[in-house]
Amino acid sequence: MLSALLGVEGPAEPDAEALVRESGEVVTYGALARVVARAAGQLRGAGACPGVSVALALADPVGLLISALAVWEAGAVCVPLDLRAGAAAAEEIAARAHARLVVRGCGADGELQLELRNGPAIDPRAALLLFTAGSSGKPKGVLLSAAGLRANVMAILGYLPIGDHPRTALTLPLAYSYALVGQALTTLRAGGALLILSELGYPALQLASMARLRASGLSSVPAALRLLARLVAEGAEPPPLGYLASAGAPLDAPTAGALRTAFPRARLFNQYGLTEASPRVAAIEDRDPAFAKGAAGRALPGLTVWTEGAQGDIFVKGPSVMLGYLDDPEATAHALSAEGALRTGDVGFVDESGALHVRGRGDGVVKVAGERVSLDEIAEVLRAAGARDAAVVALPDQALGARLIAFAEVPEAGLAALRRAVREQLGPAKRPAQIVAVHSLPRLPSGKADLVQLRALAAL
């Protein structure tokens, strides 16, 4: 069932749980192998093969995952669509992906609802095509190879203890590499049970489902993890987590402390990666001394990570780096060197112990009055001072180069404490010109703050 992509079948016991819906309904490894084989046969009959893009337009995550496995079994290119972005946006992505097949539905028996289209072949080495949301501009299509995905899955399993804690709670959309590769494929490769939770926008329901289904592993973004920790602090029943892994944004000390308090038995991991690297690049456990110093991780086996200068652009090289951007040779040439080194777009440094520290996106490090300023660093100070979450954007300023506007999830009464923290902990260039109290930050489906929308609000 997973042989085409990862080189393995399921575990020896076909009755073991593979997929578990929020309702408790189970798909065993034996059943999963049967439905994937049927769906793969149908795809092959419709023309699926290397270089053929198959877009997955399914709202049901179980159906989407079965379809993805079938696409890989057929040797074609999987293109998961995020339907939550709207039908028009999904249709645009399917068109840009040159999809020859669109999966509109997947029955419990593996029968697919297929739509056939005309489209040119793409890179036959590609197994997965994901379109990055980005902080601005048009999303780019990231081409990832089967070998790269396989290498990344095995590298993640080298540090994440899924084998010891095999009941993984999936709380993020499968249209993202963090969920599809970093959680779904790793859990299935380890022979674990993937608990697929549907109420992605309701943390209280997620937490209750995780407790009821006995989730033992959870990977998510800091904003979502903070909400779960707060619910436990307010009296909600915690699931028996053996590990917690964070990625997608900086994991600050207050968030890490709240997670330790809420889930005292869980091993805590910080991770760094990006879609263009399949996605994981580095990881670190809280028992590592560099974790407390704010490190994002240590390079995973097979990957080399370095920065340009003492603190500058972060580069990564290794088997999981993307093939390139679909139909965008200019962007590919900017991101990939002739030797295959990936410019991540992030900035940071590697300390004397070899740990990677990320200071933010390249477009998240701005110059204010001639001084380099990390927008993520400012957001960390605001969170530590009492904001549930915070994000900072920069607007052009003729005199200073950039004017900083901060948005913080805090009541109006809490703004005084945030302003005081900014004055006491940040130099003049790093102090936002304005801190805006909001009930909740606008977010992308991945859980990250929607910086495009925040910039538009700041410009009003």
d(CA 222, CA 205): 18
Determine the longest span between alpha carbons in the chain, in angstroms. 67
CA distances from 281 to 156, 272, 273, 286, 419 (A): 9, 6, 5, 17, 35
The length of the chain, given as a count of residues? 460
Query: What is the CA 351 to chain-centroid distance, rounded?
Result: 25
pLDDT on residue 135? 44
Q: What is the pTM of this model?
A: 0.86
Beta-carbon count within 10 A of 409 CB: 20
- As averages over each run of 10 residues, the pLDDT of the chain (460 residues) reads 63 87 95 96 98 97 97 98 85 96 97 96 98 67 97 98 97 93 96 88 91 97 90 97 93 93 98 96 98 96 92 93 97 95 93 92 76 86 94 87 94 96 90 96 85 90
- In 3-state terms, what secondary structure has residue 398? coil
Q: What tokens appear for 193 in the block?
A: 């049970």
Helix (H) or strand (E) holding 28: strand 26-28
* The Cα angle at residue 211 between residues 29 and 199, in degrees rounded to 5: 75
Q: What stretches of 40-165 adopt beta strand conformation (E)?
A: 53-56, 77-80, 99-106, 112-116, 126-131, 141-145
pLDDT on residue 5? 75
Helix (H) or strand (E) holding 285: strand 280-285
* Residue 71 one-letter amino acid: V
Note the pLDDT tens digit of each residue in 265-289. Answer: 999 999 999 999 999 999 999 999 9
**What DSSP string describes 421-452?**
HHHHHS-GGGS-SEEEEESS--B-TTSSB-HH
Strand order in the sheet with 401-409: 390-397, 401-409, 434-438
